């Protein structure tokens, strides 16, 4: 067994099949298949059920995923540590993020980091809910993550680094009953149609809390696509409760944005694994957290 074989195995898992994995790896499909068959022989167990062009992981294949990711990640750390001696001119960081934090503060974090280390490539992965971010980091699919939650989860197998707290705001179409200004009492939402995210998101939880408090609101649209919420609002489908990260974009697009009374907040945290990070990932974490500390100090 060698790390290359584990990389090939993970490529098949992540791409959903041998053909797509071979294209992603820029190798011939027969070479990939042979490498995986050799790995299966070394392990003494099949890793995939081959069903025509489809493949399904066996129990042994499922068991190999996390150790394989850790082995590949450890080699990446070793290579990156050697490369960093020359000044970290290159590198690659995988970051899993929920949609709203990806708007802000992740974009600012990347801007600061890229200004210092322009040769490091950053790969952003979508994760819709907090546990998806944590799973991506825990499994080694990414080194870092950024999540938001009404309360930060209690975890022991990854590290959470609190970043900031964001308010929830109401985003409404222009020409409606709402105008920016004083905070909007939640009771004023009575009779409104809400556009919400999927269960497990902070905005969905707040919408349910408002409804359970006796305010007569209707869920008009539930969307896993966070980027669809603002266009739906602007088309008059309903109003949305969104993280304040969306306020500048919503206001520039012509939407009405109101603070809520009483206010509600979501907590943001960077996520890292408990083991060693590549120098690039460790530096990204340091740059992001140092900037956040400076921002809080100025406030």
Q: The whole model's pTM is what?
A: 0.72
Quote the pLDDT of residue 278. 85
Question: Are 35 and 102 part of one and the same domain?
Answer: no
Question: Are 153 and 202 part of one and the same domain?
Answer: no
In the numeric block, the tokens 């603070």 are attached to 259
As a residue count, the chain comes to 299
Question: Are 160 and 272 part of one and the same domain?
Answer: yes
Evaluate whether 259 touches 167 at the Cβ level (below 8 Å).
yes
Structural domain includes residue 74: no
Among 19, 34, 68, where does a domain finish?
A: 68
Structural domain includes residue 189: yes
Question: Are 45 and 178 part of one and the same domain?
Answer: no
pLDDT 10s digits, 49-67: 988 778 899 999 999 988 8
Quote the pLDDT of residue 20. 87
Structural domain includes residue 283: yes
Evaluate whether 250 touches 103 at the Cβ level (below 8 Å).
no
DSSP lists the bridge partners of residue 57 as: 48
pLDDT 10s digits, 150-189: 999 999 889 999 999 999 999 999 998 999 888 999 999 9
Question: Are 64 and 15 part of one and the same domain?
Answer: yes
CATH number at residue 38: 1.10.10.10
Evaluate whether 146 touches 132 at the Cβ level (below 8 Å).
no
Question: Are 170 and 252 part of one and the same domain?
Answer: yes
Which segments of the chain are extended strands (E)? 48-51, 54-57, 91-97, 120-126, 144-149, 158-172, 184-185, 193-197, 218-223, 239-243, 256-261, 265-273
SS3 157: coil
Question: Are 44 and 187 part of one and the same domain?
Answer: no
Question: Are 160 and 171 part of one and the same domain?
Answer: no
CATH number at residue 215: 3.40.190.10
Structural domain includes residue 79: no
Structural domain includes residue 73: no
Q: What residue numbers bound the domain in which 22 lies?
A: 3-68
Number of domains making up the chain: 3
- pLDDT beyond 50 at 200: yes
């Amino acid at each position: 067994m060698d790390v290359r074989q584990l990389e090939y195995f993970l490529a098949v898992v992540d791409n959903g099949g041998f053909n797509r994995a071979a294209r992603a790896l820029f190798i011939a499909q027969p070479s990939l298949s042979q490498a995986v068959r050799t790995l299966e022989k070394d392990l003494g167990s099949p890793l995939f059920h081959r069903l025509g062009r489809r493949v399904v992981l066996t129990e042994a294949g499922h068991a190999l995923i996390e150790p394989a990711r850790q082995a590949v990640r450890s080699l990446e750390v070793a290579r990156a540590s050697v490369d960093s001696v020359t000044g970290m001119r290159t590198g690659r960081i995988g970051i899993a993020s929920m949609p709203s934090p990806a708007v802000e503060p992740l974009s600012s974090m990347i801007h600061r980091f890229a200004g210092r280390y322009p040769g490091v490539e950053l790969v952003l992965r979508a994760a819709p809910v907090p546990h998806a971010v944590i799973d991506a980091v825990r499994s080694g699919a990414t080194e870092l993550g950024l999540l938001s939650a009404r309360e930060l989860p209690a975890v022991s197998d990854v590290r959470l680094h609190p970043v900031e707290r964001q308010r929830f705001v109401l985003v409404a179409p222009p020409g409606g009953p709402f105008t920016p200004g004083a905070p909007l009492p939640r009771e004023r939402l009575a009779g409104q149609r809400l556009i919400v995210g999927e269960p497990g998101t902070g905005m969905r939880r707040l919408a349910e809390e408002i409804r359970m408090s006796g305010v007569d609101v209707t869920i008009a649209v539930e969307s896993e696509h966070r980027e669809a919420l603002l266009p739906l609002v602007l088309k008059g489908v309903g109003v949305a409760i969104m993280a304040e990260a969306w306020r500048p974009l919503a206001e520039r697009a012509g939407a009405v944005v109101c603070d809520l009374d009483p206010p509600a907040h979501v907590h943001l945290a960077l996520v890292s694994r408990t083991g060693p990070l590549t120098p690039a990932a460790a530096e990204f974490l340091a740059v992001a957290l140092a900037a956040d500390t400076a921002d809080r100090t100025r406030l």
